[in-house]
Structure 1
Amino acid sequence: MKPSESLKIDAFSIRIADIAAVELDRLHALSLSVGWPHRAEDWQFLRETGQGFVALDEIGRVLGSAMWFAHGAGLATVGMVITSPRLQTLGAAQWLMKRVFDKIPSRDLRLNATRAARRLYLSLDFQPEKTVYQCQGIARVPATGGLTEARGDIRGLDASDIRAATALDSAGFGVRRTALVEKLFAHSAGYGLFDGKKLTAFALCRPFGRGHVVGPVVAESDADAVAVVRPHVADHSGSFLRIDTHMDDGEFAAFLSHAGMPVFDTVLTMSLGKRLADFADGASARPKTYALASQTLG
């Protein structure tokens, strides 16, 4: 049965609208209402990258949102699922999610759930996968003692490296995300680790929220991941830096803490449908996603 275009909640009604038709300041006000750090510019980046809905009340106030981002032919990540505080226990988020399901019925889905939202996603048959550690703080370059040395040369990335970075990202994430990687390159500074002319690891960094966010980071080892993140830490030393990672131990996790980015919060990666084979054990030599592009994008 097709979801309804409106919903009666408590003493008022809400209706659905395309997120692209809503002013950025109204979306920004929504994320501020729940304490999320997204700037208006971050909302615009997401609107240019994906699609979504908002929930409006009778006088056009934005009371909720939900977005999805298609990757390849069979996967979408879901994010920016927000409902204003007064609607969080009244079914609005579930209504928005069912509207998303109606738009992308044949895709496998992945999202990162806050503690408050986990019960909702479990009720919609999402299955837990792995914890994401939101690491953030004032960046500082740590001493190198005790770290394994990466093998290769570090240099800045440019548009000529997009194809190689897309291939690495695909190997690490499990689905080819060409459009997203191209979009990220246009908004990011990047560093890559090269074995001769071959790109073996990379990390991108772009403005976000209170400062900058590093991600995605793809590498075959902790040492390689540290090697491509360290220049970003140096570039932003003394300012706010964030990175979202599934890595909870090892050299990479230790490096983040020593670089001024301890764990601030956690979310839970959850999936509906086929699970991606991107959570390899540390012993695997294939490229791994050490840091997400963002909690919303995966």
Structure 2
Amino acid sequence: MQKSVRLKSFELVAGDIRDVDVELLHALSISVRWPHRPKDWELFRRAGHGIVAVDGIGRVFGSAMWFPQGDNFATVGLVITTPRAQAQGGGRWLMDQILEQCGNRNLALNATHAAYPLYVSLGFTSEAIVYMRQGEVQQTLPALPTLGGELNELPSDRLTEITALDERAVGTNRARLLALLAKDASIATLSRGGEVVGYSMRREFGRGFVIGPIVAQNAWDAVHLTAVHLKNLEGRFTRVDTRERDGVFAEFLQRSGLGVAETVTTMSKGRRFLNREDKNPWVYGLAGHALN
């Protein structure tokens, strides 16, 4: 794979994303109005692998990352190019190298409107729409449905209580990713009959907080697993990424002050990523745009 590319008047070289000053990555995301803080970039660099497109004097013109989840699956994210590089094919050059690194793994990603045609040309197929809901949490939350179980806080050293549930919902083992997220997260679980049937995480991200993953057996459980975090965030900027377009969960988020700011498209390459089944847990809130 070509490790450098000439884009008209300048040449870009591929470098390991771990070798770049995190402040340069922060500047890159700011240039395209993405909210990632240096601390968020550090988390992503611990969670996955990636490359940056750098010119001869060390300026960063693009990034792309992939996050292994199990042995045969990965998510792709943080694919960012400056307008100058994007217009000259920088995005495709970055993705070609990411696909080479991922080998034969099945892949999933969330495509922005601008990047969607590129991913289609690379063989990705659409599966669902993600509604990126965000805003300042209302001072008074909507009335909650009857709680069917017991809510508890989960210490980060007891993640084994939720990893099997998460694997059933996602279809792949995310134990390593959950451990990384949990280091700076507040975790809630919902139990019935002594069995954990749902969980949620809240952590700082971007302008405020993100709630996700949210894994539950039904929308009513998902509401409670979200509300337990929102009640401590009144007036704070909060984000939930969900594939629920309408219904109980989406309406609760809307009435809590989290309106749809943007949509992206979940796409896959290889096996189908989303396989929702009755009586199985479901991901009501994503871990993050790049992580699914």
Give the shorter-chain TM-score range.
over 0.9
Q: Deviations over 1:91-111 (max 9, x none)?
A: 111111111111111101100
Residue 290 of structure 1 aligns with an amino acid whose one-letter code is Y
Runs of 4 or more, structure 1, over 3 Å off, are 277-280
Q: How does 1:262-277 map onto structure 2 within 5 Å?
A: 262-277=259-274
> Aligned partners of 1:289 and 1:149: how far apart in 2?
21
Instruction: Note the residue ranges of structure 2 that are not aligned, 5 or more in a row.
Output: none
**Secondary structure class of the residue paired with 2:231:** helix
Aligned to 1:12: 10
Q: 1:277 Cα shift? A: 4.1
**Secondary structure class of the residue paired with 2:201:** strand
Aligned to 2:285: 291
TM-score by length of 1: 0.95
1:98 to 72, 96, 99: 96
Residue 86 of structure 1 aligns with an amino acid whose one-letter code is R
> Aligned partners of 1:17 and 1:290: how far apart in 2?
35
Aligned to 2:208: 211
Q: Contact 2:133 / 2:239 at 8 angstroms: preserved in 1? A: yes
The reply on whether 1:192 has 2:189 as its aligned counterpart is yes
Q: Contact 1:211 / 1:239 at 8 angstroms: preserved in 2? A: yes
Aligned to 2:155: 158
Identity of counterpart residues, as a percentage? Answer: 41
> Aligned partners of 2:3 and 2:178: how far apart in 1?
34
> Aligned partners of 1:291 and 1:119: how far apart in 2?
25
Q: How does 1:1-298 map onto structure 2 within 5 Å?
A: 3-140=1-138, 141-144=140-143, 147-280=144-277, 284-298=278-292
Q: 1:148 Cα shift? A: 3.4
Q: Deviations over 1:104-153 (max 9, x none)?
A: 11101100000000011011010001000000000124231xx5323111
**Secondary structure class of the residue paired with 1:80:** strand
Q: 1:196 Cα shift? A: 3.8
> Aligned partners of 1:27 and 1:233: how far apart in 2?
30
Q: Contact 2:189 / 2:198 at 8 angstroms: preserved in 1? A: yes
**Secondary structure class of the residue paired with 1:235:** coil
> Aligned partners of 2:91 and 2:146: how far apart in 1?
47
Residue 69 of structure 1 aligns with an amino acid whose one-letter code is F
Q: CA, structure 1 residues 97+277, in 2 after alignment: closer, same or farther (shift >3 Å)?
A: same
TM-score by length of 2: 0.97
> Aligned partners of 1:9 and 1:134: how far apart in 2?
33
Q: 1:165 Cα shift? A: 1.3
Residue 229 of structure 2 aligns with an amino acid whose one-letter code is H
Residue 297 of structure 1 aligns with an amino acid whose one-letter code is L
Q: Contact 1:278 / 1:288 at 8 angstroms: preserved in 2? A: no
> Aligned partners of 1:261 and 1:245: how far apart in 2?
11
Residue 283 of structure 2 aligns with an amino acid whose one-letter code is T
Q: Which moved more, 1:148-157 or 1:245-254?
A: 148-157
CA RMSD of the aligned region, Å?
A: 1.1
Q: Contact 1:33 / 1:85 at 8 angstroms: preserved in 2? A: no
> Aligned partners of 2:223 and 2:158: how far apart in 1?
20
Q: 1:160 Cα shift? A: 4.6
Q: Contact 1:30 / 1:63 at 8 angstroms: preserved in 2? A: yes
Residue 6 of structure 2 aligns with an amino acid whose one-letter code is K
Instruction: Note the residue ranges of structure 1 that are not aligned, 5 or more in a row.
Output: none
Q: Deviations over 1:7-38 (max 9, x none)?
A: 01011110000000000110000000001000
Counting matched residue pairs gives 291
> Aligned partners of 2:157 and 2:19: how far apart in 1?
34
